[in-house]
Amino acid sequence: MGSSLLTNSAAMTALQTLRSVSSALQTTENRISTGQRVSTASDNAAYWSIATSMRSDNAALSAISDSLGLSAATVDTEYTALTTVIGDKNSGLTKLQSLLVEAKTAGIDRTKIQADITQIQQDMKLKANSATFNGINWLSIDTSTSSTATPTSFSLVSSYSRVGGTPTIGSITVTTATYALYTVGGASKTGLLDALAGSTAPSVDTININTIDDSAAKQTLLDGYIVQVTTAINSVASAAANLGAVKNRIATNTDFVKTLMDSVDRGVGQLVDADMNAESTRLQALQTQQQLGVQALSIANQNSQSILSLFR
């Protein structure tokens, strides 16, 4: 084909190649600057859509993790108070039981023992009332019908999953009556420590041995108090064990949610993250191609100038 002033085929070819290289170079530079090979829907609509949904799921899982942290703090507060109420040889129900057994001793001054019992009763109630976290207390509950009444159960958010477009939020349900040591506001006392043992028998919270003497009838009454406190120890221990199981479940779910979030992050990365080693190599090659393309276009444009020499 002869030379033409109107159509420079070599320049057109060089220009098309340069445009293609410049476009590829822009794509590579964008991947390097963002760290992603799919940063917008136009890069890959399917992968971008999946990654966006997975990021949304991870945000929900992050909220679940925060909720589990709050639940763990609440359960830990109640669990600590329960185990403190059970006590040991120096405090709580365990000490109360030993004092009542000590009161069986003939001729002992039971008024002095009652002074210790009263202090223990007040201390246990104080600990139950103090077991409040974020306005929640499961050990001292309001059983009235007012707006301030304690809910009969609490749902602790524990998990999140999504199948298709349907999200599912799991929860751990705790029943407040299981852990209630004292009750206020209701028509009757129903807590583990303030419930009456019978029509005439006092609750653990109101046991008083000031009138106990060495007579058989009074000693039988004292035996009943000992049995009552022993039963209370078993009941509170059972409640603590139940709450301990909830505590372990929350801890397990917390670890699982964190592991799941890491897994989702890795999944998103595999879909949209750029291979920086490959992109840096591609960048060097495209920059070289761009330089060669500019030189080729320059040479093609000079061919038109050389035609003028034929007319001199």
Task: Tell me which range, 28-37, 58-67, 187-196, is most confidently predicted by mean pLDDT.
Answer: 58-67
Q: Which two tokens stand for residue 210?
A: 């000031």
Euclidean distance between CA atoms 197 and 201, whole angstroms: 5
Q: Other CB atoms closer than 10 Å to residue 291's CB: what's the count?
A: 11
Q: 3-state SS string over 244-259? A: HHHHHHHHHHHHHHHH
Domains and CATH numbers, the chain: 9-35+287-311 (no CATH), 45-272 (1.20.1330.10)
Mean pLDDT of 62-88: 95
User: Where does the pLDDT of residue 70 fall: very low under 50, low under 70, confident under 90, or very high at 90 and above?
Assistant: very high
Mean pLDDT of 139-149: 90
Reply yes or no on whether the pLDDT at 197 is more than 80: no
Instruction: Please give the residue that has the higher pLDDT: either 192 or 1.
Output: 192
Reply yes or no on whether the pLDDT at 188 is more than 90: no
- 173 forms beta bridges with 155
- 26, 10, 12: which is closest to 290 by C-alpha? 26
Task: Tell me which range, 27-36, 63-72, 155-164, is most confidently predicted by mean pLDDT.
Answer: 63-72
Contact 103, 202 (CB under 8 A): no
Cα 77 to Cα 72, 127, 187, 230: the distances in Å are: 8, 11, 28, 24
Residue 156 backbone dihedrals phi, psi, to 5 degrees: -95, 115
Q: Which two tokens stand for residue 256?
A: 């699982």
Task: Render pLDDT for 198-253 as a digit per residue (tens, 0 to 9).
Answer: 666 799 999 999 999 999 999 999 999 999 999 999 999 999 999 999 999 999 99
